[in-house]
Structures are given as C-alpha cells and as structure tokens.
A and B are shown apart, each in its own frame.
Chain A
C-alpha cells in the first residue's frame, strides 16, 4: 500500500513512522519545513490531568502508555542520549550524527486552586478522573508545598497527577520523522498540496502538488490548523479552525519549579470553545533552566500580531501561582494556532464522504501528547487491525460533527 501523509508536524511525523513500520510505503508532503509550524509553537505537555473522563482522556491515557516506549525506541534507534548537560541537545561531542534527546520526562503535574470557590470543583473533577483510571491524588497544602516549595501561600487545594509528562516537541517531531525516514518513508519539504486527484470510481487517488502530481492508495491529512483549507482543496472540507495561543519564556534560573503546575481554571479554558481571550496558567521548567508560562486561548483567525494585553494577563496569572515569578524576567514570547474542532475531539479515521481520504488532525491544544496514540490508532484502522481503544468517538463520521461537514465538492 502507498500512503501520502500531508503535513510534517508531530502528527504527520508520528503517523508516517507508524505506517512505515507496518510495511506501508509513505510519502510525507510538507509545504514548508518539518517541525516548523504548530508543533514548534507550543509546549510539550503530555497530560492526563486536564482531561475529563471521555474519549479524549482514553486517547491521552493510551498515549501516556506509549510515550515511554516510543522515547526508548527513538533513543535506541537514533543514538540520542539522555542529555549530559541539558544543553546542546545532550551530545557526545564529535560523535557524529547523534540525535539530541527528546527530553521525555514524566515529572508529574500539580493542579492548584487559589480560591475557596475553586476547591470543590477541583476535588470533584479529580474524583471523576480517578473513577476513569487516572492516578489523581488530592494532597494537603503541606504536601503540595513539599512538591513545590515556592507555591503561592494563597493556594486553597491541590491535586497531584504523577502521570503527567513532557517532551521537547520539536526534537520529538524531528526524531519521529527521522525514524520514519530510516524505515523507508520519504519526505518532500517545500512542496504544497494544491488539490486532489480522483480515480474513475471517484476515489481520492492522489494529490496535486507544487512539484507535480502524486498517486497513492490513501491520503492522510495531518495539516494541523490548516486542515480546513487543505481538505477544501481535496474536495471534502473538515471544520478545523485556528485557536491562537501564546507562551512566555523566562530567563534561566536555579531550579525552582519541579512539576507541571496549573491553576485550576486551566481545565475550564481547555474545555471551553469560547472565541474570546482566555488565559490560565500552565507553568513548567525546561531542561535549559527556563520556565515556560502558558497560555492563552483566543479565536482570532490566523492573526499572529503581538498583543501586549494577552501577555499582561498571562504574566499576572503566573505570578499568582508562583509569587517569585513576579521578579523574574520574561525574555521571549511565542505562539501558534491550535487546530480547533467544534466538538473538541480530534479527527482520526476515514472520511465518510470521500473514499481514500483519511484524517489525523484537529488535536487542538494536545496534539503533542496525543500524537503517538493517534498514529497507533490510525495505523490499526488503515491496516484493518483491532485498535487498542475504541476508535468510533474520533471518527470523522461521528454524529457531533455531522452538522459541520459539508457534502463532498
């Protein structure tokens, strides 16, 4: 079987790797460069803590199981090491083409409420997660401070999630793609898909690109927030919209934040589809000693202009969770566009309207974390294997999406 994967973000890279490893001939087509769009514009949280019981949580738990294994396989295969000095990507100098580490770190997460009104909802949410198999541990404030000594004195409740992890998303994307290449995938960068090719039976039989036509048995869209535009070109548009997010980066400091720490409104912001600006704190330190402070959510199309008001809000909330951050310099901000789907679930599976077209897109703010499970699921669906989790909730044919899907053009 020949498959074309459109998009070389983390989703396209993970999908290409899984398909190639199961014997499929894969060509990845990327209009820009690999690992340079959304997957290079966010953070690398691999979370279960922010997900309410339901299909996305199941997918996240599946990913949480796969990541350690994938991280190990990539290190074995590409020669990446666990960073010796955390810098320069953990190289052995002069050792030739050693891959940097993907910095997978299951450091655990701590969700903190800072108001009295926030205590109940946080506890209740955790209880429902425990019922769904999440390791969520309500902790006392003393225990929370043992985990995070610099936590705000105004914390009112906290829940510890040992399963939360992080990866370095760009290196992870490059590593997944390099692994796919080694197994035989080819990657065409600087090549844009401009339209679809149809067989006599109406099936999608390939794509038109800026470098000519390419034929395949199946086409997978993994074009992140541009998936609506891309699928419109292919004749079967899917409702993926951009949702802007901005992150602040501090200067380096001695290690003072040891887990991923969120304020409890984070979960609300994630679950909401509101177009207006929302911010909530996700605070984490990186292997370089900096602290990433995310993030905002705003549906403003592809407008990437700096908005100081957004930064002000992110900064204020972070200083509310860790007061010492008030004195810490922010040295950079960056942002991107999450691929947002109206019913908040990614599209993974065959398009019901156009045979030959498959989707792996719409992961909104969780595509890094969900990438490896998405790829495994799609691989099973495409090869006719029983998937490890129920794939129906992610099907592009699901009822909650029907009102948003137009007829094939």
Chain B
C-alpha cells in the first residue's frame, strides 16, 4: 500500500488525509500541536472542554466530523505533538532537471493537463525523503524519535502572522492577531480590556470578533489599505462579499457582528506607534496615503492596554525548502495543477502555496492528498475540489490586491525601532551596515547585521529585513540566492536529543 505522510493537520492537511484515505493509501498525519485543526480550528484542549465551543468557530461541525472520521480510521495514524525538525533529501532528489522534467515550475505552461490518467507504478515518483520528528512535550527532552520514509509527502505547514515593525511593537501587550485568537480560542484568555486591532487583511475581522467574544472592548480595527484600494482589490466592499460564496458570507457575518458590538472599522489607518515603558498603555494611529505613508497631522493617541497587529501572513516554508521544493517569485511553494512541487513525491497544500483562507486550503489539501495517493485528474471528488480551488484562488488574489503591503510603511520607523526582535537589531544600524558594507549578498548582510540570526531564525523579521535592505542598500540587486526561509533545523532541539547515543525511544518505520 502506498504510504503517505502529511505534515501539518490544519484544514489543508486534514483534507489531504481524507482524500488520500479515499484513494486507499495508508496515511500518517503529524502535527506539532497537541490536537489537529491548525490555526483556523485552534480549540480548547480536551481537558478544558466546553458545552458550546462551536460558538467560537466557523465550520465546527465539519471539523469535528473530519477529526473523528480520521481518528476512527485504522488506515490513518495521527501523531499529535510531533514536531518535524528536519527533512533529509534522498539520493534521487536534489537534481530536479534530471529527475523530473515535468516538475512544477512557477509558471509552467498549461497547468490543467496534469498527468496522464494511467498513473505510473507506485514507487515511480518516490523522492526518498527522510523525515525526522520528535514527539512529546514541546521543547522537552527525551522525546520519542520518529524517522519516516514515506512514498509521498504532503506538506501543509500553513502560515503565521506577519507583523510590520513600528516603534514600540516590542512592548509587552503588543501581540499578533494570531496570538490573540489562539489565546481566546485555545485558552479563554483575553489579551486586554481595551484593544486596538491593526494591520491589513480580512482576517483582522474574525480576530476582533474573537476578542469581543471574550468580553474585550475593541477600540477599533485599523486597516492600512485605503477604501479605494480595498474596493479595487475586492471589487466591492469586504462586507459585501456574500457573492463570493461561503467565505464572503463568513466575512459578512463578522461585519454584522462588528456593527452589533460597534467596533469602529477604519480604513487607510495604521497604528504607527505603541507607547509605554514596561507595557503598552496607548497607541498613536494615523491616516495613511495610498502607499501606507502616514499623513502628517492626522495622528491620534488612543489609550489601550493591548494591541494586535498583523499585516498579512508569512508561509512556513522551512520544511518545503529542506525538501528541495522550488519557490515562486513571491516566496510560496510552487505547485502544479496536481499540487505537486518540483521535488519528486512531494506535494504542498494550504497557506504555504498562497494565502487564501480555509476553503482554499481544504480544496488544495483534497487535491494534494488524492494525487499523492496515486489518484488521477479526472476523478469526481477532485473535480469539485478543483472548482473550489479556482474560486478561492480568486479570493487569494483579491486579498493581495486589496491588502498587500505597500512600501511607505517604513517611513513610520525610527532609527531605534527594533527590526529583528531576537537580536534587537534596530533600523538605523541595519541601514548603516548595509550602506557601509555595500554588500549585494543577503547572506553577508545577515551575518554582518545579525538580523534574522536569533532563535526564531528570521521567522518574525525575515521578510521585513529583506524589504528594508532592498530599500536602503545601494544595490537592491542581489548577487546571492540566500533567503530567510532556509532553516535546516526547522525547530531547535537539545543536543542530547540530537546526539547519537543509543536510546529505546527510537522509532524507525517505513510509513
């Protein structure tokens, strides 16, 4: 039987597992979290259950049904709390040209042809990847070592918030929207009594809604894009998105909630500074021009005790990069019509291929799982998923057009605004070092500024540093191919867990 390993049990990974099982493959589903669901269906742990948890979620019934189907299915093994920390490429990988002439390329001609209906024999496109995971308490020690060599790999590692820096963003009390939502949905903790929600993107609205459900006063949702940009991107105001199907209806629901709870929604406005010494006590908001440059004279100070700021998402690419997958020009995993990456036997789905919301993630997951399990293009379940994928890719494009980051934001930085939180690299020194070394190499710039070299490994600042260096360096052009997405150790692990001493908790298996 074909053995499929799916990494990430968010909407994309869960859908992939279901589809691969429907094709009869044997499935292992790994997630670092201690339950499945991903960011969207992040929920209370079993020991903190609640009678009406469904009130916190959209599609809760879909999720619980999917979870219990997979849990009850002997052909599907779910390993919770399993952190994948490395992927090794096998002997057949790493030579995309020789190995896979039809490999996915960012703009590979006709994406619809897919593969011939008669799928080649099982092991034909095995990549020989070796996946290393540790299962047990997060960042623990003596965790169970899991080593897997699947026939096909589906990467569904999702995305995390991207927050643009502003003076004071490193103060306690400033959170990402994802943090506020995770704490609200997973802990029933609210981040503050008076909270400003700021940044860009339609997902600020559900976050504001979650906060309101925890009894918080949301002083405003400050969307950086101006109304005209939003209209041009969405072709309509966001709360009219009902036309775009369920997703639109969901967002419309948030709009109604917003009105009910009287959350002011301000477009063309940003939090450009957080005030406080040991914790945030107020923010300055300002109107922005169309390039997100603050308009002088429009600043307003608002007392708050927490801020949730997020300006979009950063895909979690380290495992895809480790597996050898080619990325697109805008740094997502490049996939073809069957969600195949450039690497033999490796598929990708969900936010790592583009930011488009839960329906897109599930549609892609279904397609990836189906093909990874050896399914062909014509089969009806994938036909439906392909239609859904088309519709929601359109939403993904609208999100980017309406809410995409504009270059003027960097004018709200001070010289001593922290850019890299881990290494406390500040804006002035970052700019000055780039100028002094006149370097055209991201690798060299990282090592000479230390930006992105800390323990988060550039997850928080990587995209920002890259953008700022391009703005400030005398040569925006780069002569090296370094990125911030290359993290050969996907997560830190203790030397004892890494070290080669015999242990009973070694589990080597073929799935």
Contacts and interface: CB of A to CB of B under 8 A. Distances in A.
Question: Is the pairing of A and B real?
Answer: yes
Interface stretch (A123-131, A218-226, A303-311, A339-347): A303-311
Contact of A93 (B416, B479, B495): B416
B440 A89 contact: no
A32 B436 contact: no
B429 interface: yes
Given A87-B424, A89-B450, A312-B500, A330 B492 contact: yes
A35 B453 CA distance: 17
A257 interface: no
A149 B448 CA distance: 31
B132 interface: yes
A383 to B, nearest CB: 28
Contacts, number: 181
A100 B94 CA distance: 36
Contacts of B437: 99-100, 174, 178
B423 interface: yes
A98 B432 contact: yes
A88 B425 contact: yes
Contacts of A94: 415, 428, 432
B495 A308 contact: no
Given A33-B480, A36-B479, A308-B132, A96 B432 contact: yes
A328 interface: yes
A60 interface: no
Given A91-B432, A99-B436, A251 B492 contact: yes
Contact of A168 (B88, B447, B477, B487): B447
Nearest to B425: A88
B139 A329 contact: yes
B457 interface: yes
Given A89-B429, A170-B444, A319-B496, A332 B436 contact: no
A34 B432 contact: no
Contacts of B454: 252
Contacts of B93: 305
Interface in B455-493: 455, 457, 477-480, 482, 487-489, 492-493
Given A93-B415, A306-B86, A332 B488 contact: yes
Interface in A385-405: none
A329 B457 CA distance: 13
Given A36-B443, A40-B447, A93-B428, A178 B436 contact: yes
Interface in A40-91: 40, 78-79, 85, 87-89, 91
Given A33-B479, A288-B450, A308-B132, A331 B499 contact: no
A315 interface: yes
B426 interface: yes
Contact of A326 (B94, B433, B495): B495
B448 A100 contact: yes
B489 A330 contact: yes
A26 B74 CA distance: 70
Contacts of B495: 248, 250, 315-316, 318-319, 325-330
B499 A326 contact: yes
A95 B415 CA distance: 11
A135 B210 CA distance: 67
Interface residues of B, number: 56
Nearest to A324: B495
A313 B211 CA distance: 48
Contacts of A288: 423, 450, 453
Contacts of A319: 495-496, 499
A315 B479 CA distance: 33
Nearest to B440: A33
B430 A88 contact: yes
A322 to B, nearest CB: 9
Contacts of B429: 88-89, 91, 93
B462 to A, nearest CB: 13
B350 to A, nearest CB: 24
B149 interface: no
Given A171-B447, A330-B495, A309 B436 contact: no
Contact of A327 (B130, B322, B494, B501): B494
A35 B489 contact: no
Contacts of B416: 93
Contact of B488 (A30, A326, A334): A334
B284 interface: no
A97 interface: yes
Contacts of A213: none
Contacts of A85: 424
B495 to A, nearest CB: 4
B435 A97 contact: yes
Nearest to A190: B479
B89 A306 contact: yes
A332 B487 contact: yes
A139 interface: no
B328 interface: no
A100 B436 CA distance: 8
A333 interface: yes
Contacts of B426: 88, 93
A252 B496 CA distance: 17
Contacts of B443: 33, 35-36, 40, 170
A202 to B, nearest CB: 34
A313 B500 contact: yes
Contacts of B496: 315, 319, 326-327
B457 A88 contact: no
A312 B449 CA distance: 30
Contacts of A34: 439-441, 444
Contact of B479 (A32, A305, A334): A32
Contact of B89 (A89, A305, A330): A305
Contacts of A327: 141, 494-496
B391 interface: no
A274 interface: no
Interface of B: 86-89, 93-94, 130, 132, 139, 141, 322, 415-416, 423-426, 428-430, 432-433, 435-441, 443-444, 447-450, 453-455, 457, 477-480, 482, 487-489, 492-496, 498-501
Give 5 closest A-B pairs by Cβ, nearest first. Answer: A33-B441, A312-B500, A33-B479, A329-B492, A91-B429
Given A97-B435, A305-B89, 5 more contacts: A33-B480, A34-B439, A35-B441, A170-B443, A309-B500
29 contacts: A32-B441, A34-B440, A34-B444, A36-B443, A36-B444, A78-B436, A85-B424, A88-B423, A88-B425, A93-B416, A99-B436, A100-B437, A100-B449, A170-B444, A171-B447, A189-B440, A305-B93, A306-B86, A308-B86, A308-B132, A309-B500, A312-B500, A326-B495, A326-B499, A327-B495, A329-B455, A329-B495, A330-B492, A330-B498
